[in-house]
């Protein structure tokens, strides 16, 4: 532990970060974990019909890139990248951990996690990590099987 960073300081920084996200900013997202026991994969390791656990609501910091629309003969195709930052202690309390392949529901769209990392250190110390950062990309609702489709 560095000379100028005590356990009390670390606790203070974590409580301030948590208060900002949960009590002031309050951006709620829903995290859907893939159910690996019920999802069937083909011989290539791909799952065409994924099944999901019940979504868990959690607060996060959201960093949105502008939405990109491409026209390629079949109508508009929207894409967007978003970074979600979760409080690590809150994730532990709710017994969830964002992982690659999980899906986040935010702003009437779904985003699949393609990378996670834990790089926000207090005082530059890896053992004082307070967040989980997930980078995501927008996915089509029809490919997920999370919402019931109207026939």
The answer to whether residue 25 sits within a structural domain is yes
The answer to whether residue 147 sits within a structural domain is no
**By the 8 A CB rule, do 30 and 105 touch?**
yes
For 88-115, what is each residue's pLDDT tens digit?
Answer: 888 999 999 999 999 999 999 999 999 9
| Nearest Cα to Cα of residue 60 among 139, 128, 135 | 135
Q: How confident is the model at residue 148 (pLDDT cuts 50, 70, 90)?
A: low
CA 63 to chain centre: 11
Task: Please tell me the distance from the alpha carbon of residue 27 to that of residue 3, in angstroms, as a whole number.
Answer: 36
The answer to whether residue 149 sits within a structural domain is no
13 versus 108: the higher-pLDDT residue is 108
For 26-52, what is each residue's pLDDT tens digit?
Answer: 899 999 998 888 888 888 777 778 888
Q: Which of 4-18, 95-109, 137-151 has the highest mean pLDDT?
A: 95-109
The answer to whether residue 121 sits within a structural domain is yes
Q: What range defines the domain where residue 84 resides?
A: 7-142
CATH number for position 45 = 2.40.10
The answer to whether residue 57 sits within a structural domain is yes
Q: Is the pLDDT reported for residue 63 higher than 70?
A: yes
The answer to whether residue 2 sits within a structural domain is no
The answer to whether residue 148 sits within a structural domain is no
Hey, which residues does 56 pair with through a beta bridge? 31
pLDDT at 147: 67
The answer to whether residue 124 sits within a structural domain is yes
* Total of domains in the chain: 1
Task: Please tell me the distance from the alpha carbon of residue 23 to that of residue 106, in angstroms, as a whole number.
Answer: 18
């Amino acid at each position: 532990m560095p000379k100028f960073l005590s356990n009390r300081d670390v606790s203070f920084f974590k409580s301030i970060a948590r208060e900002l996200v949960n009590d002031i900013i309050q951006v709620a997202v829903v995290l859907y974990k893939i159910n690996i026991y019920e999802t069937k994969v083909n011989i290539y390791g791909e799952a065409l019909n994924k099944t999901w656990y019940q979504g868990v609501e959690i607060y996060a910091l959201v960093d949105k890139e502008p939405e990109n629309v491409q026209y390629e003969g079949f109508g508009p195709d929207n894409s967007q990248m978003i970074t979600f930052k979760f409080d690590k202690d809150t994730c532990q309390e709710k017994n969830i951990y964002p992982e690659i392949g999980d899906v986040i529901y935010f702003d009437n769209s779904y985003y699949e996690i393609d990378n996670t990392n834990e790089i926000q250190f207090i005082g530059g110390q890896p053992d004082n990590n307070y967040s989980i950062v997930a980078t995501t990309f927008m996915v089509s609702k029809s490919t997920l099987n999370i919402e019931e489709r109207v026939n």
